[in-house]
Amino acid sequence: MTTIEAPASGGAARNDAAPRISTDLPGPKAQAIIARDQAVASPSLTRAYPLVAESGSGVVVTDVDGNTFLDFAAGIAVCSTGHSHPKVVAAIKEQADRLIHIAGTDFYEPRYLEFMERLAAIAPFEEKARVFLTNSGTEAVEGAIKLARYHTKRPGIIAFEGGFHGRTMGALSLTNSKVKQRAGFGPLVPMVHHAPFPRVRSWREGTGGDGSAELAHLKNTIFGRQIAPSDVAAIVVEPIQGEGGYFPAPAAFLEGLRALCDEHGILLIADEIQSGMGRTGSWWAIEHAGVEPDIILSAKGIASGMPIGAFIARESVWTWPPGAHGSTFAGNPVCAAAGLATLDILESEGLANAAEMGARLRRGLEDVADRSGVVRDVRGVGLMLGVEFESHEAAEAVQDAAFRRGLLTLECGESSIRFSPPLIVDADEVDAAVRIFGEAVGAARTPEKGMDETGG
């Protein structure tokens, strides 16, 4: 049995819950639940490590055996206001008492309306915006593909190598992150082409450039040989690739995509399901480049963990008629109420904090990287930061060693670890996470110790 506590000077002071690991991981209760889960759950689930969560508060998650963790994964960048923020919980309870469901596709409801109004107000368009609420990220992608095809009367879509857009058939056709996500599911949607995405590693290698080579490939090879731009409805891009490895697109690349879209009457769709909702210190990552998309997609951090997403488009794009698109549960009033409370919290404290804490976290991670000698890159914007290692095995070993010390992170790309904590994270929590991460990198570098730490 191990007992690990974060140093007295750090830890989750606000929650009075410094990471405390007092059982072997997984503990006895966690082991029992994992065994039952394995007997019934779909084998397609890929649990990163054996965390069995029981409760959460702020940035701290407690497992079923009473171990506590600093959560810098936030349920895959979802718990933007932390776990069970009191204002979000109150909004959910109040709305559940009032009305749980009515079907926004068929009837009007005030929370549904107010949430659309708030999202339209923060959409990064000059033109007035309209909103369609969804149940998830992948459903927002599906809806946006349909809207783009309907509006342009064109079939083709350009997506990017390494991109991730979801797992339903349309979104999966765009997804290009890991082949196991696509294997066995074809034929996928036709006339989807994947262009190269700039993988800029500027921290140590200084490589990647400004995306001009990738733009030239799209213009010359894809539009020159594979699909005529006049057949393309939309270019779908993550301004910061998430699952693909936390690669921010250079501003010049996004500007180049905008120019291509303008030249050929193509819609630019920004998939900000992971990078949006204030995570980068602005509502949308694409705002850092000063580029306006035609459609923007949101989900994940939009409602602190309640299942809701949205596709938001410029007024003139919505040319489809009543009945063209709908969804039974989407925009559920309880989720919308949680979304409204989430927007309030992000507006009043989350955005500014994401920028400030993001800078602090980045400095800490770069410091660990400098000292470790095994880190290939540190990159990202605000509280969307990735640390790339030389190999998948190294990233996996560090992720596991961090977990065993009370820090939750998640791998992404081929060999990176992502840091996507709640946007309300404080300086003590950031410092504690950096310390634990440094220890985890050290442990994973020592083969014997690393073997022990990862269970062999």
Ligand X SMILES: Cc1ncc(COP(=O)(O)O)c(C=O)c1O
Query: Residue 242 CB, nearest distance to ligand X (Å)?
Result: 4
Give which of 243, 311, 260, 253 is closest to 286, Cα–Cα: 253
Part of the chain binding ligand X (CB under 6 A), chosen from 212-220, 235-243, 248-256, 310-318: 235-243
Distance CA 25, CA 169 (A): 37
Which C-beta is closer to ligand X: that of 27 or that of 75?
A: 75
Query: Do residues 104 and 131 touch, judged by C-beta distance below 8 A?
Result: no
Part of the chain binding ligand X (CB under 6 A), chosen from 62-70, 161-169, 418-426, 428-436: 161-169
Q: Which residue shows structure tokens 């602190």?
A: 304
Taking CB under 6 A as the rule, does residue 141 contact ligand X? yes
* Footprint on residues 322-341 left by ligand X (CB under 6 A): none
- DSSP H/E element including 417: strand 416-419
Q: Which two tokens stand for residue 111?
A: 């929370």
Which C-beta is closer to ligand X: that of 301 or that of 406?
A: 301
E strands, 209-327, are: 232-237, 240-241, 247-248, 267-271, 295-298, 309-314
Shortest Cβ contact with ligand X: which residue? Answer: 137
Which C-beta is closer to ligand X: that of 91 or that of 141?
A: 141
Query: Residue 223 CB, nearest distance to ligand X (Å)?
Result: 24
Could you give phi then psi for residue 427, rounded to 5 degrees? Answer: -65, -40
Query: Residue 165 CB, nearest distance to ligand X (Å)?
Result: 5
Helices (H), 321-426: 333-345, 351-372, 392-404
Give which of 428, 422, 443 is closest to 19, Cα–Cα: 428
Which C-beta is closer to ligand X: that of 145 or that of 368?
A: 145
Taking CB under 6 A as the rule, does residue 306 contact ligand X? no
User: % helix / strand / coil in the chain, to the nearest 5?
Assistant: 45, 20, 40
- Residues in Cβ contact with 326 at an 8 Å cutoff, skipping those fewer than 6 apart: 105, 106
Query: Residue 414 CB, nearest distance to ligand X (Å)?
Result: 16
Which C-beta is closer to ligand X: that of 271 or that of 400?
A: 271
Could you give phi then psi for residue 62, rounded to 5 degrees? Answer: -110, 135
* Footprint on residues 282-301 left by ligand X (CB under 6 A): 299
Candidate list 149, 165, 279, 404; residue touching ligand X; CB under 6 A: 165
Part of the chain binding ligand X (CB under 6 A), chosen from 158-166, 186-194, 203-211, 396-404: 158-166
Taking CB under 6 A as the rule, does residue 137 contact ligand X? yes
Cα 53 to the center of its chain, rounded Å: 20
Which C-beta is closer to ligand X: that of 19 or that of 421?
A: 421
CB atoms within 10 A of CB 379: 23
Give me the 97-136 binding string for ligand X, x by CB under 6 A, dash otherwise.
---------------------------------------x
Question: Which residues in this chain contact ligand X in the complex, by CB under 6 A?
Answer: 76, 136-138, 141, 164-166, 238, 242-243, 271, 273-274, 299
